[in-house]
C-alpha cells in the first residue's frame, strides 16, 4: 500500500505491520472494527451478535454473527497474523450450529445484542428495515442450508485455503479475506481484500457453479426419464406377451421413448411411442434411399381408406418431403410420467398395436413384393 505525496508527485510506501507488533488484539480491535463497519467485507451485513455462545452442550463462541441481504446467517471468524490450521473446521462447526436457528431465535439473539451493545432498539423492526421489508411477519430468516462462512486473517495456511476451495466446489459459501495493518507515522491503516474468491473470479465462479448445477439437473432429469421409460416398456412387453402378441416377443425394454419391431420390409419398422405428453403407434420408412421411402409411402397412402377403416381411426400421414424418412402415426395425449395411469396406457398400446399391425400387415407384404419386382428390396 502506498501514500500519494501530491506536492512532490511521488508515492510513499506504507510499512506493513503485524497485529502483534502493534499490540492489536483480535477481540478488542479487529472484531470491534468489523462489528461497527461490516461493509468493510465488501457487502452489506447486519451484525446481530458478537462472541455468540448460544450453542447447546458446548461453550464454544463464534466471533461475529451476521445476516446478509437474503436473510441468511453469516458466520465470521477473525484471526490476526495467522489463520491457524483449524479455523475452517471451527467455522464449519459454527455454521452447522446456527443452521437450525429459527426466525424467532434470531430476533431474540439480535435483541440481546442491541440491549447489551447498542443501547436498545426493536430487533424485528431493524431486521425488516435492513432487508427492505415493512415487517417480518410471515417472513422466514435463515431458510434452508445456505449459511455463509467468512474467515479473516493476515495469512492463510494452505490447509485452510484448500478446505475453503473444496467447500466452495461443494456449493458451500465460504470466503477468505486478507487483512493487513499498515503504519505511516502515527497513523494506522487497514487493508481488507478478498482472497477466495477474488473479485475477478467471483462472477466467473458463480456462472460456472450455475452451469454445473444446470448440467447436473439436466443429467438427473435425463437419467430419470430413462428409468421411467425402461420401467414402462417392461410393463408393456409383459402385457403384450400375456395378450399373445408375437410382434415384440424378441424385443427388450430400452431407455428410449420408442420401441421398434421389424415389419419384414428392410429398414421399415413398427414402433410404440411413449412420451411425456403423448402415446402413439407408428410405422416408419427409414431406408437409406430417400426416393425409395417416398415411393413406398406413396404406394401405401393409395390404400389410405382401407387401412383407416381396418384400424378404426383416422391416421396422420407424414410424407416429410424435406427429410429422408416418411412416417404414418396415430396417437393420443397422455400424462406419461404419472405411473398411476400406466395400466391404462399399457392397455392402449397393446390394443392399438394389435389393430395397427393387423391393418398394415397385408399392405406391407404387398409393398415388399412390389420392391422385389422393382429390384430394390432388401
For the chain, which domains are there?
A: 2-196 (3.40.1350.10), 220-374 (3.30.1460)
Query: Sorting pLDDT into bands at 50, 70 and 90, what band is 183?
Result: confident
With the CA atoms of 179, 45, 47 and 84 taken in that order, what torsion angle do they form, in degrees rounded to the nearest 10?
-30
Query: Sorting pLDDT into bands at 50, 70 and 90, what band is 334?
Result: very high
Count of alpha carbons within 13 angstroms of residue 334, beta-carbon side:
22
Angle among Cα 17, 23, 29 to the nearest 5 degrees reads: 95
Q: At what angle do helices 342-374 and 290-301 cross, to 10 degrees?
A: 110
pLDDT over 60 at 344, yes or no: yes
Three-state secondary structure call for residue 171? coil
pLDDT value of position 60: 81
pLDDT value of position 56: 67
pLDDT value of position 21: 86
- Residue keyed to cell 456449493: 171
Three-state secondary structure call for residue 76? strand
pLDDT over 80 at 190, yes or no: yes
Q: Report residue 282 as a C-alpha cell.
A: 407408428
pLDDT over 70 at 94, yes or no: yes
pLDDT value of position 231: 96
Are the C-beta atoms of residues 48 and 67 closer than 8 Å to each other? yes
pLDDT tens, residue by residue, 210-251: 676 677 777 778 888 899 999 999 999 999 999 999 999 999
Q: Which residues pair with 64 in a beta bridge?
A: 50, 76
Average pLDDT, the chain: 90
CA distance 236 to 348: 10
Three-state secondary structure call for residue 12? strand
Query: Sorting pLDDT into bands at 50, 70 and 90, what band is 373?
Result: confident
Query: Sorting pLDDT into bands at 50, 70 and 90, what band is 204?
Result: low
Q: Which of 131-135, 200-204, 258-262, 324-328 bottoms out in mean pLDDT, i.e. has the lowest?
A: 200-204
Report, as an integer, the average pLDDT of 187-191. 89
Report, as an integer, the average pLDDT of 364-375. 90
pLDDT value of position 90: 86
pLDDT tens, residue by residue, 122-168: 999 999 999 998 899 889 999 888 899 999 998 988 888 889 888 88
pLDDT value of position 203: 58
CB atoms within 10 A of CB 370: 14
Q: Report residue 202 as a C-alpha cell.
A: 467471483
Q: Which pairs from 126-134 meet CB under 8 Å and 24+ separation?
A: 126/46, 127/46, 127/48, 127/67, 130/44, 130/46, 130/67, 130/69, 131/67, 131/69, 131/71
Query: Sorting pLDDT into bands at 50, 70 and 90, what band is 202?
Result: low
Query: Sorting pLDDT into bands at 50, 70 and 90, what band is 88?
Result: confident
Helical spans, DSSP H, in the chain: 31-36, 87-98, 103-113, 123-131, 158-169, 199-242, 290-301, 304-311, 342-374
Task: Spell out a b/e string for 89-103, using b for 16 or more CB atoms within 10 Å of the CB, else e.
Answer: ebbbbbbebbeebeb
Query: Sorting pLDDT into bands at 50, 70 and 90, what band is 375?
Result: confident
CA distance 345 to 30: 68
Are the C-beta atoms of residues 282 and 326 closer than 8 Å to each other? no
pLDDT value of position 77: 92
Task: From residue 294, give the alpha-carbon distance in Å to each of 33, 270, 288, 297, 324.
Answer: 80, 17, 11, 5, 8
pLDDT value of position 207: 64
pLDDT tens, residue by residue, 4-62: 889 999 998 888 889 888 888 988 899 999 999 999 998 899 999 998 887 766 778 89
Amino acid at each position: 500500500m502506498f501514500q500519494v505525496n501530491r506536492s512532490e508527485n511521488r508515492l510513499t510506501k506504507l510499512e506493513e505491520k503485524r497485529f502483534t507488533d502493534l499490540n492489536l488484539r483480535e477481540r478488542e480491535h479487529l472484531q470491534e472494527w468489523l462489528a461497527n463497519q461490516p461493509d468493510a467485507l465488501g457487502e452489506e451485513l447486519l451484525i446481530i451478535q458478537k462472541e455468540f455462545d448460544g450453542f447447546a452442550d458446548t461453550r464454544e463462541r463464534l466471533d461475529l454473527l451476521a445476516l446478509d441481504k437474503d436473510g441468511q446467517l453469516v458466520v465470521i471468524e477473525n484471526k490476526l497474523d495467522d489463520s491457524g490450521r483449524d479455523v475452517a473446521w471451527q467455522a464449519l462447526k459454527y455454521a452447522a450450529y446456527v443452521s437450525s436457528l429459527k426466525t424467532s431465535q434470531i430476533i431474540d439473539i439480535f435483541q440481546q445484542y442491541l440491549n447489551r451493545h447498542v443501547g436498545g432498539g426493536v430487533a424485528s423492526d431493524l431486521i425488516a428495515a435492513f432487508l427492505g421489508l415493512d415487517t417480518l411477519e410471515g417472513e422466514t430468516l435463515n431458510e434452508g442450508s445456505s449459511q455463509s462462512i467468512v474467515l479473516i486473517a493476515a495469512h492463510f495456511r494452505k490447509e485452510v485455503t484448500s478446505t475453503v476451495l473444496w467447500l466452495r466446489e461443494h456449493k458451500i459459501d465460504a470466503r477468505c479475506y486478507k487483512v493487513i495493518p499498515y503504519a505511516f507515522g502515527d497513523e494506522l491503516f487497514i487493508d481488507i481484500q478478498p482472497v477466495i474468491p477474488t473479485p475477478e473470479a467471483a462472477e466467473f465462479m458463480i456462472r460456472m457453479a450455475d452451469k454445473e448445477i444446470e448440467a447436473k439437473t439436466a443429467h438427473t432429469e435425463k437419467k430419470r426419464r430413462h428409468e421411467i421409460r425402461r420401467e414402462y416398456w417392461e410393463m408393456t412387453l409383459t402385457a403384450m406377451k400375456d395378450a399373445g402378441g408375437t410382434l415384440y416377443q424378441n424385443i427388450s425394454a430400452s431407455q428410449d421413448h420408442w420401441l421398434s419391431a421389424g415389419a419384414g420390409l428392410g429398414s421399415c419398422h413398427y414402433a410404440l411411442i411413449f412420451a411425456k405428453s403423448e402415446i402413439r403407434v407408428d410405422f416408419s420408412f427409414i431406408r437409406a434411399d430417400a426416393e425409395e421411402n417416398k415411393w413406398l409411402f406413396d404406394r401405401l397412402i393409395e390404400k389410405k381408406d382401407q387401412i383407416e377403416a381396418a384400424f378404426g381411426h383416422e391416421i396422420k400421414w407424414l410424407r416429410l418431403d424435406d427429410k429422408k424418412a416418411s412416417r404414418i402415426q396415430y396417437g393420443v395425449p397422455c400424462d406419461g410420467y404419472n405411473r398411476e395411469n400406466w395400466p391404462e396406457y399399457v392397455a392402449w398400446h397393446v390394443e392399438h398395436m394389435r389393430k395397427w399391425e393387423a391393418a398394415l400387415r397385408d399392405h406391407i407384404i404387398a409393398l415388399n413384393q412390389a420392391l422385389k419386382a422393382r429390384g430394390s428390396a432388401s
